[in-house]
Amino acid sequence: MTLRLGFGVSGPLGQRWFEAARTRALIEGALHGGVAHFDTAPFYFDAERRLGDALRKLGRNEVFVSTKTGTRRKGHRLIKDFSDVGIRADVDQSLRALGRDRLDLLYLHGPTSTEIDACMPTLRLLKREGKVERIGVCGEGEPLRRAIGAGCDAIMGPYNIIDRRHERIFVEAKAKAVMTVAIAPLAQGLLDRRFFPPHDLADIWRMARAGLRPRYRKKAIAAAREAIGPAPVAEAALGFVFADPNIDFVMTTTTKPGHLARSLAAARGSIEPLLYARLKNVALDPPFDGA
């Protein structure tokens, strides 16, 4: 059975304070559970190298790996650079870190529509050179639609019970045979009533990250939690996204083996129809504060 679940080697999984052995164990658990699609990026600290090392040691270099370009670290800051030189430097770095001859999929990370158009000649040339097999855009809003029109092979954007802004864009992409990848299916963990308190450094990181992102409205979170009811949160939230036929892969990540096991179970099953109906009927007011 080919799972539509992808695993992101990102966040804590690339950080120094998160042991490399724990990252490798999670990657191994995902592989043994049937995951064959991984995502990472050069600006996720040591994530690319950890993923590459794990796949080599496990003899699983055949799995699909996507990475990103356009965002990089400069000291303690993240900067944008969609120049030809910058993209090529990222690609070469990713190939070395992952230990690969070619990238399965390279996403532009958070570009504007104008930046997408400016990058396409470089991306097409990288494909012709054999360094990149597929190109795509990871982002939100109109740039995802522009990626479809520009000839990208894949798009990646948020989609979950309370954030369905890209529902129509995924439909358009699927109609043109563009790979669709949903991220943030658990809404940064906020759908779980047990979001607080933190139990370890990874939980603190997750809470801080959620605080830095656009804030989901408390009303929307409460409505989703009520609709989920007593059902397991991961199964409900992931099942909701898996039920959309216009989404090819659902990307998630975790620092906890138990959470990974629940995500794998959700990927193998199907959501109960009455639960899906309740979730589908959650009011779709603007999901973010200030929207």
Residue 136 has a pLDDT of 99
Residue 193, pLDDT > 80, answer: no
| Chain segment 89-123, per-residue pLDDT in tens | 999 999 999 999 999 999 999 999 999 999 999 99
Give me the residue spans of the domains in the chain.
5-280
The pLDDT confidence band at residue 6, using thresholds 50, 70 and 90, is: very high
Confidence of residue 171 (pLDDT cuts 50, 70, 90): very high
Query: What is the structure's pLDDT at 214?
Result: 59
* Per-residue pLDDT band at 167 (split at 50, 70, 90): very high
Cβ atoms of 275 and 236 within 8 Å: the answer is yes
Q: What is the pLDDT of residue 210?
A: 59
* Residue 270 DSSP label: -
Q: Which pLDDT score, from 0 to 100, does residue 18 have? A: 95
Q: How does pLDDT run across 65-74, given as a tens digit for each residue?
A: 999 999 999 8
Task: Look up residue 74 and give its two tokens.
Answer: 């400069």
Q: Which residue has the tokens 């990238």?
A: 103
pLDDT in tens, 175-185: 999 999 999 99
pTM for this model (two decimals):
0.93
| Of residues 182, 286, 237, 257, the one with CA closest to residue 22 | 257
Secondary-structure class of domain 5-280 per CATH: alpha beta
